[in-house]
Amino acid sequence: MSCQDPVQSAVIRSAAYSYRPPSPPKITVPVQGQKTIKLEPSYDLVDPRKISREQFTIVTGNRTQISVDRSTRWRYEQRRDAQHILDFLSLGPTSIVRDHEFLRREAFSMLVVVRDARAPLNLPSVNKATTALDIPLCYIDVEPSQLVRAFHQVVSVINTHLLSVHHMTAGTCRGKLLVTCDTGNMLSPSLVVAYVMAMFGQDMMAAVQFVSVQRFCANFDEEAKQAFLTWQDLNNAGVTVAGQSHNANDHMQAVFVQGKANTKRDLDDMMEGVEEDVGGTNCDTVGDYDRFLGRRDFAPFIDVEY
């Protein structure tokens, strides 16, 4: 009589363990190549609650901004120079302010120096340059984890200065800014990208490419790219909400005329008809069903027999 080994079972994991917190996927910005990038100013692409049409015209001049591709002939030494990004804005390292002749020749009307908020150093060379040339100076202290806050600030600083110069000179002169940081490679390029996104309605990819091909040593880490995506969503939301404001105001006036106390939909109204869409199940308490659509089934552990 033969003996038969009993069947044994066990539970094993169905996927490898991850020993770190989840992180968003890396964002890859493709190389633009030698194609010229053009930025066409359009008031329809900006949030009208932040800048009026007249102010937008003054700031941008309604001029097309055309990139200059320096990537193919870039020399390592050029990282010490400043490059024109827009016709009223240049980008470079803070050390460039020591060249007073360059500042006079370019006729900069304001210096914007971006500093790491963890080490906001006083820069005598910057103070000396602004005193010698009698031009205003603005420090923007940036927390690397709070870039979006700095994005709002740089847009306000640049636009306020351009509008101020326009009004002070009765439109005969136009402001011109130099934006710098310690190396001119990380903090200041990030703020310039954010400005291009906000004022020219560009998405992250287009704005990063527009700046990168002109200052090829600009470097954007993953934290900056994620901040760009957040900034992009905020800009798009602002444009969308502003575009709907007229219709919303008309709707609210109609509601007041009808004497309705509250027109905000509750969950029951929102979920009306969802039960039929999902196959007749009871979904009265499901408020975000869409986020589960398209997910594959996943069992973290499986039974095996051996």
pLDDT one-digit tens code per residue, 255-268: 555 555 555 566 56
Fill in the amino acid letter for 204.
Answer: M
pLDDT, the chain, mean: 86
pLDDT of residue 25: 82
Q: Are 83 and 218 in contact (CB under 8 A)?
A: no
Q: Where are the domains of the chain?
A: 38-241
- Is the predicted pLDDT of residue 253 greater than 60, yes or no? yes
Q: 108 vs 245, which has greater pLDDT?
A: 108
Dist CA 47 CA 199 (whole Å):
9
Q: What band does 284 get if pLDDT is binned at 50, 70 and 90?
A: very low
Encode pLDDT of 168-201 as tens digits. 999 999 999 999 999 999 999 999 999 999 999 9
Q: Are 74 and 217 in contact (CB under 8 A)?
A: yes
**The CATH number, out of the four listed (3.50.50.60, 3.90.190.10, 3.20.20.70, 1.10.1740.10), of the domain defined by the range 38-241:** 3.90.190.10
pLDDT of residue 236: 94
Report field, pTM of the whole predicted structure over 0.85: no
Q: What is the mean pLDDT of residues 89-114?
A: 97
Tell the residue number behind the tokens 């105001």, with chain if given. 249
pLDDT of residue 11: 83
Nearest to residue 278, comparing CAs of 292, 295, 299?
A: 292
Q: What is the mean pLDDT of residues 41-52?
A: 92
Q: How many CB atoms sit inside 10 A of residue 163's CB?
A: 16
> Dihedral angle at the C-alpha atoms of 237, 239, 242, 247, nearest 10 degrees?
-90
